[in-house]
A and B are shown apart, each in its own frame.
Chain A
Amino acid sequence: MAHLELIEICKGFNEPVLDRLSFSVEKGEFFVVDGPSGIGKTTLLRCVAGLETLDGGRIMLDGQDVTREPPYRRKTAMTFESYALYPHLTVFENIASPLIAHKTDPATIRRRVQEVTTLLRIDHLLDRKPHEISGGQKQRTALGRTLIAKPKVFLLDEPISHLDAKIRAELRLQFHTLEELREVATIYVTHDYAEALSLGDRIGVMGNGGLVQIGTAHEVFLNPSSLFVARHLGQPSINEVSAELVQESGMLQVALGALKFPVAGKHAAVLQSRNQPQVTLGIRPQHIRLGTTLKSTDSTTLSAKVEVFEALGAYGVMMANLSGTSLTLLTDSESHYSAGEDVSLTLDTSEFFYFHPETGSNLMLGA
């Protein structure tokens, strides 16, 4: 039995934010909801917490229907993107506040605060007030206040998105190792796909009204159910190329303007059976290589013209024109390329995605 179960929940009537959205989270599971900003992720969390009333559907916690329960009876704890710390209370008092509200005895409070703050490495800040600590420390204080309540469900709303890259990396590592999270179901909301892939036992990619795909990091990244998912996961974004599939010299080929090259062996049979000659090709920037070094047998080398090149420190980003199509690819940061220069591109066709040109569904998946 799932620990937390959302059954066809709806919120908003005319323009539904959540439209019959369903998923369940197991005890000990870290479930990440990942989607572009403004898509309704926070609304979803607020519905689970009981801060919003559902317009339809049910929420089950531990087998109990909590749909009509007020927030304080749901045993959920939520951290907000804005931290929401009490400015006049110290770090200790902020973290202890849920226990004080429950009239826990002082000795237990002290022990629990000590445990949680040691875990989060803020035990040296207990006497400080929120304005005397950094953003990252505030974030950990808010997290501590969530952890200490020993809820059944943790709801984390972009808890690390405001922090600089270095602290984020550190907190991400902490989420991986927090034992406390093994006892509860966690829903973590983010718009950062790298965070989602890194943290989620499973990831639900959110589109308009609901989750468009649920799966492990490998599943959603390597087998996106639609162009929407593929577009959201990855930076720079996946290249989207309109192409035609044609049968030539006994092989299924991709026709891109005047260019033709064979479809990879592992894709050919399925695509053949789909009978969908117009496709949107999805090519991740890292599956286009400069030069002619072949990594796999399923690759093809073509010549292109550089449009733009930017060195970005660790790597470079190039846009190159391949027979009228502009492709983004990654290069090393040491070399320099100028606009108009001729380059050869090696496309790793075994890593291509094929999407339906209208529905965007992944043609390799499903019946």
Chain B
Amino acid sequence: MASVTLNNVNKIYDSRKGPVHAVQNMNLEIKDGEFVALLGPSGCGKTSTLRMIVGLEEISSGTIHFDDQVVNDLTPEKRNVAMAFETYALYPNFTIAENLGFPLEVRGIPESERRQKVQEIARLLRITDLLEQRPGQLSGGQQQRVSLGRALIRDPAVFILDEVMSHLDAHLKFQMLFELKRIHQSLGKTMIYVTHDQMEALALSDRVAVMANSILQQFGDRNDLYHRPANRFVADFIGEPATNFFEAEIREVSGSLSLQVNESLAFEMDANRQQAVRESGVQRAIVGLRPQYIGLEPLEGGGSVQTELLVNEYLGERSILDVQAGSALFRALAPPETSASRGERMTLHYHPGNVMVFHPESEVFLG
């Protein structure tokens, strides 16, 4: 086991069009035994970061420590990192037991010890009854577990999972989430999970590092990301359905500030946010409000907005309402029984404590 620390890590690739700065001044401190997700859209630099941690990619500048040891010049083998990939990469002609035991065989571990380790890992992953089968006979979820098992069996100091669930369909994914969480809890290993799926990242990890445009945007737990996103990007990337954003002018009426989006849409702010807006001195702001926090039920101390319904999208457990207020279009969540239809007038309610305010130019979170 090990802690992983990145100090001012940069990755610069040479390309025909000139140097590409894929990772910029990345600082990250992953504690020993922590489960951290590296989250971001494709091309954000998360895979480059990961490959530098593993040792598959040279570090252009900066240092990476495992515990107190600088690992910049160590081969992947010496770093004792194990990695499980999106594709299962199992040997089709080997049984599951042979697939699992293979990394140990290569290292010349005697057979009796190998067999014992395979049993242990199989129990952990709950695949004991599959050991004599071949990969072709297994479902996608089972193959995924075997591939995890093969990475885990080497007893690595740091365990890295690269988009391991993007192949699985939704139901399997859900089961695997719980499974991985359980595996982490029983092993207590440092795990780094790379994904572009925010739900997976939030569900699994103790903390999430959100990357965009080669830069670490925020490193925090799910509460931080959800309620105190560092900037508009994070607020937009985290949460489903996506956050509603509005451009608004700051209005002051008898000492109280509000956010005027258009002639028919305005949001109130609580005292803390008003204070934050005052201190920043902005005249305009970007408003973010999650669809979860605007709905049909009146709230105590809440504000309300008048809207017209465009689409009532029934999704089984819930409905998403696409509504319009003046020229602004946005979405709200409603119970599935909601029977409203296109063109209907609807009063929607929100709590000022859930209104997020961002700087109009820098898009940094103000409050």
Contacts and interface: CB of A to CB of B under 8 A. Distances in A.
A244 interface: no
Contacts of B174: 235-237
A311 B171 CA distance: 18
Q: Which of A176, A177, A312, A333 has the most CB of B within 10 A?
A: A312
Nearest to B329: A173
A177 B202 contact: no
Contacts of B225: 313
A164 B336 CA distance: 24
A165 B197 CA distance: 9
B301 interface: no
B196 A164 contact: yes
Interface in B228-252: 236, 238-242
Given A164-B41, A197-B316, A313-B198, A169 B241 contact: yes
Interface residues of A, number: 36
Nearest to A38: B140
B140 to A, nearest CB: 8
Interface string A166-210: 100100110011000000000000011110011000000000000
Interface stretch (B88-96, B111-119, B307-315): B307-315
Interface in B305-336: 311, 313-317, 320, 322, 331, 336
A173 B322 contact: yes
A319 B177 CA distance: 13
Nearest to B178: A308
Interface in B114-137: none
A266 interface: no
Contacts of A172: 313
B199 interface: yes
B222 interface: yes
B314 A218 contact: yes
Given A165-B242, A313-B202, A176 B313 contact: yes
A235 B311 contact: no
A57 B90 CA distance: 40
Interface in B250-295: 290, 292
B179 to A, nearest CB: 11
B171 A314 contact: no
Interface of A: 36-37, 164-166, 169, 172-173, 176-177, 191-194, 197-198, 217-218, 221, 231-237, 284, 286, 308, 310-314, 319, 333
Given A36-B171, A312-B203, A313-B238, 17 more contacts: A169-B242, A169-B320, A191-B170, A193-B170, A194-B316, A197-B315, A198-B320, A235-B171, A308-B182, A310-B178, A310-B181, A312-B222, A313-B226, A314-B239, A314-B240, A314-B290, A333-B226
